[in-house]
Amino acid sequence: MLIAGISGAGKTTLARKLSERYGLPRYELDALHHGPGWVPRPEFEADVKEFSAQDRWVTEDQYHRALGDLLWDRADTVIWLDLPRRAVMWRVIRRSVIRAVDRRPLWNGNKESVRNWFEADHPIRWAWSQFGGRRAATAERATRHPDVIVIHLHTARQARHWLREAGRHS
């Protein structure tokens, strides 16, 4: 199962909840991608190919430059969190502030700081600049993968409702 959406849409949170509810192995792509010092891990693509060859898993839809359509090709279901820009920006800014203040390690000892906010690929800048393009790319991927079930959710309320209802039918 693949969770799609721009940074701040809630991909990791939903993946964690689905993993807990259905006992799915969960793979956090950021943890697999970022080595110490925010340097990409050379094993990243091999690790993703290995876990996604399994029958059951849940992860976030990201790192398209490195992975292409690998995860879409191997997923049976995609949950698309297509929240409004204002909701995404509120979430990603709030998350970044909390991370910069508490300085808790994220992945492989990396910590977020305010200085990171000025990098082009920081989630705040990424979510703002890539919002429309990411939405179009996800719609296009869905068209190219007609055998994948796509559950398109437009609000956090819809996502919570869908998760509640999915739990009732499990």
pLDDT of residue 37: 86
pLDDT attached to residue 80: 98
In the chain, the domains with their CATH numbers are: 2-168 (3.40.50.300)
In which order are the strands placed within the sheet that holds 2-4?
26-27, 58-60, 2-4, 77-81, 149-153
pLDDT tens digit sequence for 32-80? 999 998 899 999 999 999 999 999 999 999 999 999 999 999 999 999 9
pTM confidence score: 0.91
**Residue 81, pLDDT score:** 98
Q: How far apart are CA 85 and CA 39, in angstroms?
A: 29
Q: What is the pLDDT of residue 168?
A: 62
Which residues of the chain, if any, have pLDDT below 70? 167-170
As beta bridge partners, residue 27 has 59
Beta-bridge partner residues of 79: 3, 151
